[in-house]
A = this chain, B = another copy of it.
Amino acid sequence: MTASGDGDALVIFMPSGRRGRFRVGTPLLDAARSLGVYVESVCGGRGICGRCQIVPSHGIHAKHGVTFAPEHLSTVNDVEERYRRLRSLAPGRRLSCQAKVVGDAVIDVPSDTAVNQQVVRKRAEAREITPDPATRLLTVVLPPADMQLPQGDASRIRAAVAATHGVEAALGDPVVLQALQPALARGRGEVTVAVHADAGAAEIIAIWPGRVERALGIACDIGSTTIACHLVDLLTGRTISSAGTSNPQIRFGEDLMSRVSYVMLNPDGLGALTECVRDAINVLAARVAAFAGASPDDILEAVLVGNPVMHHLLLGIDPTPLGQAPFTLAVSDALEIRARDLGLRLNSCARVYLLPLIAGHVGADAAAVALAEAPQREEATTLIVDIGTNAEIILGNRTRVLAASSPTGPAFEGAQISAGQRAAPGAIERVRIDPATLEPRIRIIGADMWSNEPGFAEAAETLGVTGICGSGIIEALGEMFLAGIIGADGTIDGGLTARSDRVVPDGRTFAYRLWPGPVDIRISQTDVRAIQLAKGALYAGTRLLMDRLGIDRVDRIRLAGAFGSHIDPKYAMIIGLIPDCDLADVSAIGNAAGTGARMALLSRTHRREVEGLVRAIEKVETALEPRFQEHFVAAMAFPHASDPFERLSREVPLPERTSASAARAGRRRDRGRTGRGTGEA
């Protein structure tokens, strides 16, 4: 394909291979973002920061059937020339915020441009949202004050806003009143006001001299482990910048319940935890604003989502009742609060919208996921699972939507696993085990190659191979099962010590040496049990909801959350984490909570939608359900006993087996159906 005068063109980004057609004239930065390709921009696309550099490829890419020529990007404009002159640009590089699509192109995103994407695994998804923000900017021009008409300037501004824009808005916040006359003076009668109107009456929340045309908001996903913040242009809907940090509350407790304990045991505990999370948000807000060449004072709105404990701590509410039955929330409704009442340093009058909570353990983050995935819009049945210490499970369709929480424990995040750790560079995230040799191949976070490929040794040298994270555990266990190292009941086959030095005695049981080293990274029997308990709880919760709906399979499965987006769905199915569903309909949806938060930030319609959805969702309390225990036990096996092994083998091409291992597999299958094992070969 050659360059076309107008119309659109194909753009492919490497190394991800994501591609799409874009109208001629589209800035490459926008094209990348809309495909979910992470290209950083600090200056908001003004050609100042130089962080958005890309390398356009030359030549013919037969595989993609594209001929690329330099003429297929717009010529260097003044802004880019200026940058090149002042800051220098390596040969062959372009600023993607300035370079526009002219014809088909293959664009390499160099690693230094993509550098931040691994640390925070909660990137904003590139989702189209029709803006209907609660905050608008309206500019008015006032004539000079007239002594004959002694009404105050506040009244004159309100009257002008009503006359010019048809909006009746109140003006009563002291901060705005203080800024009013200085703005009129500096703007010589022309001022721009920010008008906020959501569920309540319209109110003027900010005023500036002259014409202002950019309104900023933030969407934050406040996870127990990671907090992510996205800066969004409220008028265009575009995500400008993102930043993340680990949740500093970890110093008070690794997981939510230990933080609740901290509150119970320390008189100042609540204050410390609340201040901690608010500080983190303030830091992130300042950071994303700086990325965009703005200040926190420019942020007029925020939408925050989180699980119930994080939500309550943000509000300064004692979360202790959430630590024990009946797990009563202080508040479950959507809330609209002034940012300063939450100690958040945004614009002085910025408004914060908190999505509603679904139940005692199913939070606003799950509500945000439900908003983003909209199971209630389809005939098909969707299962959404957000795997954390408490897995949040949503199942439903146009007819009914149910939600439950399952106490999976922290095993999926690496806790309780002997070599377990959180996702970080150096953690094993992918595992393959040769069923014949029982030898493993691994991939670690931060390196692009398998351990048997060139370059891995250097990467491992640099990053270390430090442990195994949640997605790695899942794959390890799946592969161990497929290779026959563990049986359906989860017992590591001690007989294999004869075949491979990968299987070793470990106290009274056995372990698999995944990555030998100064300290072995092993999968112990205890590790397997921990995962069995966790997956059992998760599957049982799911099964309960399926029982309620009277179904045995689901049409679509979405794995949510930072953890969920890195699980390979195939392995989730292999180990029996998820119910019967076509593998092609199982996908990771990444940071869907963040997407839902952004949807609510940009559109009041979505806020009303999620409020209605949460009201309609039927909450199932797993602790009260008689069948939970029964499902739980059945679900601990590999794969859980109710799934026909044959169906699974159709989905997953299993390696050739020796007749001995096939016999073992058959015996395991039989034992799997009764749910018991003996540990013998």
* Residues of A near any B CB (own CB < 8 A): 145-148, 150-155, 171-175, 177-178, 180-182, 200-201, 315-318, 321, 325-333, 335-337, 341-342, 357-360, 619, 621, 623-624
Contact B174–A337 (Cβ < 8 Å): yes
Most chain B beta carbons < 10 A, residue from A200, A333, A359, A619: A333
Q: How far is it, in angstroms, between the C-alpha of A624 and the C-alpha of B146 when the chains are bound?
A: 11
Measured CB to CB, the nearest residue on chain B to A144 is B326
Task: For the complex formed, measure the closest distance between the CB of A584 and the CB atoms of chain B, giving whole angstroms.
Answer: 35
Q: How far is it, in angstroms, between the C-alpha of A154 and the C-alpha of B332 when the chains are bound?
A: 7
Task: For the complex formed, measure the closest distance between the CB of A276 and the CB atoms of chain B, giving whole angstroms.
Answer: 16
Contact A360–B150 (Cβ < 8 Å): yes
Set B177, B201, B329: member contacting A150, Cβ < 8 A:
B329
Q: How far is it, in angstroms, between the C-alpha of A637 and the C-alpha of B180 when the chains are bound?
A: 44
In the assembled complex, 13 residue pairs joining A and B whose CB atoms fall closer than 8 Å, in A order, are A145-B326, A147-B360, A150-B359, A151-B332, A153-B331, A154-B330, A155-B333, A172-B335, A172-B336, A174-B342, A178-B330, A181-B321, A182-B318
Point out the residues of chain B lying under 8 angstroms from A331, CB to CB.
152-155, 171, 177, 180
Set B171, B177, B315, B332: member contacting A317, Cβ < 8 A:
B177
Q: Chain A contact residues: over half helix, strand or loop, or mixed?
A: loop
Point out the residues of chain B lying under 8 angstroms from A151, CB to CB.
329, 332
Measured CB to CB, the nearest residue on chain B to A181 is B330
Point out the residues of chain B lying under 8 angstroms from A321, CB to CB.
181
Point out the residues of chain B lying under 8 angstroms from A335, CB to CB.
172
Contact B174–A315 (Cβ < 8 Å): yes
Contact B153–A328 (Cβ < 8 Å): yes
Point out the residues of chain B lying under 8 angstroms from A336, CB to CB.
172
Rank and list the top 3 A-B pairs by shortest CB-CB distance, nearest first.
A152-B332, A152-B329, A154-B331
Q: How far is it, in angstroms, between the C-alpha of A316 and the C-alpha of B333 when the chains are bound?
A: 34
Q: How far is it, in angstroms, between the C-alpha of A504 and the C-alpha of B325 when the chains are bound?
A: 92
Q: Contacts A150-B358, A154-B330 given; 4 further ones with Cβ under 8 A?
A: A150-B360, A174-B337, A177-B315, A181-B330
Q: How far is it, in angstroms, between the C-alpha of A153 and the C-alpha of B332 when the chains are bound?
A: 8
Task: For the complex formed, measure the closest distance between the CB of A130 and the CB atoms of chain B, giving whole angstroms.
Answer: 27
Task: For the complex formed, measure the closest distance between the CB of A576 and the CB atoms of chain B, giving whole angstroms.
Answer: 28
Contact A152–B337 (Cβ < 8 Å): no
Contact B333–A152 (Cβ < 8 Å): yes
Point out the residues of chain B lying under 8 angstroms from A341, CB to CB.
173-175
Task: For the complex formed, measure the closest distance between the CB of A597 and the CB atoms of chain B, giving whole angstroms.
Answer: 19
Task: For the complex formed, measure the closest distance between the CB of A158 and the CB atoms of chain B, giving whole angstroms.
Answer: 8
Q: How far is it, in angstroms, between the C-alpha of A219 and the C-alpha of B359 when the chains are bound?
A: 44
Q: How far is it, in angstroms, between the C-alpha of A180 and the C-alpha of B330 when the chains are bound?
A: 7
Point out the residues of chain B lying under 8 angstroms from A315, CB to CB.
174, 177-178
Contact A329–B147 (Cβ < 8 Å): no
Measured CB to CB, the nearest residue on chain B to A343 is B174
Q: How far is it, in angstroms, between the C-alpha of A154 and the C-alpha of B317 when the chains are bound?
A: 12
Q: How far is it, in angstroms, between the C-alpha of A526 and the C-alpha of B1 when the chains are bound?
A: 98
Measured CB to CB, the nearest residue on chain B to A170 is B200
Contact A624–B360 (Cβ < 8 Å): no
Task: For the complex formed, measure the closest distance between the CB of A438 and the CB atoms of chain B, giving whole angstroms.
Answer: 47
Point out the residues of chain B lying under 8 angstroms from A173, CB to CB.
337, 341
